[in-house]
Structure 1
């Protein structure tokens, strides 16, 4: 049966522009869940109603709209308390879900890797735990002790269910920890190889995956990541090695996007995935060049601070600049681009190079003809500026990593 919904929101700060954007985002989340939104009920309040989230008059208006549209779900723009869900379902006689449940459903349907599936399941169980509601028969206690006289009160079914969920969360967390350890080993190996890591971060649907694919096209690589114009198209961290024409290389990682009112269970659950970001050498903060870009930028910065991202250089990439006419801020660490048309991608790669390839130096090497493998190494891992064949060997002027110059110190004639 097609899921038809009414979207409900409360504007608490009398900020109509931000509130309208929040409601529009809620409808986009519903669409990403294949739910058809047939109408909206909104209310200006200083505080959420403790019983129904909205006032009792608005509840009556909502009941009338449900009957008129034959909706079978009501979606609320904020996280509801267990008692509010219970009260609303009894009053409305249909399914009640909040923004958090909607986001969890999207994550559950899109998670592909074992790690992201475990993270989503842990977040879902943590969300469910305080919201377990017992019907009358499930509140009856199981008998404790033996014999008729010693039948003390045992656990209620509710307590049993709660304990089962807690045990499951502990088991899944242990399994996730093993996967996280494996990821740390992989990161350690990458650090050993001394390849700089660049992470794409930003609001959901800002165009991070499209930018990554544009850069892969520039590098002549075909191993594209999934991209689509919808919220949370990316849930897993994808890592690709990009080798530039001058043989300089870096790892580019695409991460899960952020959103307003992102459930804290999810931030907590995805912390291990987001550790990729905390250990990056450079962040590309992708910003959708829309009317709400400043708000989205601040929200992403807030989440990055929460997960421990500090003192990492940032390039602000204002994407979809072909779709905007308004003024865009100017700065040395800003690039204006359209990943779809390819405009600004070269400038972005150039800016990345200025930040992460500052440990390169130019030097003159004299390599004996007997050490051909050393020449092959520099051909693959550095930019050769000139080659001369002399009596004692091959004379190269190269731009290479400082570490490579130190490794082959015996061949270095001059540092230029």
Structure 2
């Protein structure tokens, strides 16, 4: 009897590698590897084992030392591992050396994040941004393994006299980068026009580390069907919704989540998306309070905000996922509050559970206060509608 052939895609397996250095403690390395495993899971890759090594600095040739490399190699061969993922960015020469030694696919954190973004991007703008970041990342790392790129264009006239395949690949990538930049410039001009049309409304942006619950909160506040999932970078495209609280309308934007060691090519390519944060009047900084490294995540977000020029915006700290805390810790937190780890100006703070809709009314009140304050700075003569005995009335006198 012939056994049926499975058509299900094979789940790739991986091992993860990180270093303990004077700049990165063993506890931090452990937390980073847990996050890296979550990134791998988001990409559909199963993590089999993690490796760490204590070094003063990464080995210039192979990132890890010779003994640790042999240990990783033995495990990879024994378990037929598909991918080895490193927690830090690798140089082109390190990638080549590791591929030659381990005989499998080599990824670093930056390329893994770029791969996730490429899958998650839905709009034409986000797809172009991610593709541009990928090509910028690939260009200095081109080797003969990339010669398949020549298939993207016809062969006639493509190769000049004596031109090598690698040089052809580089030319194709540079041409593609130039094309994508031109395409993004056009999209950016359209986005800028759209943002100018919104300048008469208060703008609020949801910011925070990835997978802290921003999209779930967006669903609750805007009462709209925004995609949310318990995976890293579930949202790559920015989403804008009009919301009305206490009679005052404003625009609420859900933005891409931040993460440690975010590739600089992504920060550069997502300029127009980050403009939504830069041009916002108020920031809702969502924090996963149940995460053991929540303070460090706050610092990562604050440093990224400062990097893009949005570090001085009025901010409401929204501590989410309080339902995941032990009862004693939860009560203590609600009574004592959380000391902020930076000098970022805080307009207010609130503890919520977006999943269980806990304390959402308190968040709405605090947000409404900040929106109203900013709204009347823009429109000092605005007549705020009130409901009295079922009839609409207005504060103040109507202008002629």
Q: Under a length normalisation based on structure 2, what TM-score does the superposition of the two structures give?
A: 0.84
Task: Please give the alpha-carbon distance, in whole angstroms, between the structure 2 residues aligned to 1:75 and 1:170.
Answer: 30
For residue 90 of structure 1, report the CA deviation from its aligned partner.
0.4
Pair 1:75 & 2:76 matched: no
Cα pair 1:23 1:77 within 8 Å, conserved: yes
User: Secondary structure, in 3 states, of the residue corresponding to 2:395?
Assistant: strand
1:12 aligns with 2:25: no
1:345 deviates by: 1.3
C-alpha contact (below 8 Å) 2:283/2:314 kept by paired residues: yes
The alpha-carbon deviation at position 43 of structure 1 amounts to 0.4
Instruction: Output the CA distance in 2 between the equivalents of 1:37 and 1:397.
Output: 61
- Per-residue CA deviations over 1:51-105 (Å, capped at 9, x if unaligned) read 1000010111011111222211111111100000000000111111111111111
- The answer to whether residue 385 in structure 2 is matched with residue 382 in structure 1 is yes
Aligned to 1:272: 272
Q: CA deviation at 1:39?
A: 0.8
Counterpart CA distance in 1 for 2:390 and 2:251 is 29
Structure 2: gaps of 5 or more residues: 1-9, 149-159, 340-345
Query: Which runs of 5 or more residues in structure 1 are unaligned?
Result: 139-151, 366-376, 389-395, 411-416
Note the 1:74-153 alignment, pairs <5 A: 74-134=84-144
Cα pair 2:314 2:347 within 8 Å, conserved: no
CA deviation vs aligned residue, 1:367-409 (integer Å, no higher than 9, x gap): xxxxxxxxxx97xx72255899xxxxxxx85237xxxx6xx52
Q: Distance in 2 between matches of 1:55 and 1:340?
A: 45
Aligned residue number for residue 40 of structure 2 = 30
Asked which structure has the greater CA Rg, the reply is 1
| 2-structure distance, mates of 1:284, 1:298 | 15
How many Å apart are 1:350 and its aligned residue?
1.0
Partner of 2:218: 212
Is the 8 Å Cα contact of residues 384 and 397 (structure 1) preserved in structure 2? Answer: yes
How does 1:6-405 map onto structure 2 within 5 Å?
A: 6-13=15-22, 15-134=25-144, 154-191=162-199, 194-216=200-222, 221=223, 223-244=224-245, 246-289=246-289, 290-325=291-326, 326=329, 327=333, 328-329=337-338, 333-358=348-373, 359-360=375-376, 382-384=385-387, 398-399=394-395
Q: Does the Cα contact within 8 Å between 1:286 and 1:316 map onto a contact in 2?
A: yes
TM-score by length of 1: 0.81
* Preserved CA contact (<8 Å) 1:385 1:398: no
**Is contact 2:202–2:250 with CA below 8 Å preserved after alignment?**
yes
Shift of residue 332, structure 1, vs aligned partner: 6.4
Over 3 Å counting, the alpha-carbon distance change for 1:115 and 1:332 in structure 2 is closer
Work out whether residues 38 and 69 of structure 1, in 8 Å CA contact, stay in contact via their aligned partners in 2: no
Map of 1:413 onto structure 2: none
Checking the alignment, whether the CA contact within 8 Å between 1:123 and 1:266 is kept in structure 2 is yes
Q: For the residues of structure 1 that align with 2:376 and 2:91, how far apart are their CA atoms?
A: 56
Question: 2:302·2:311 contact (CA, 8 Å) conserved in 1?
Answer: no
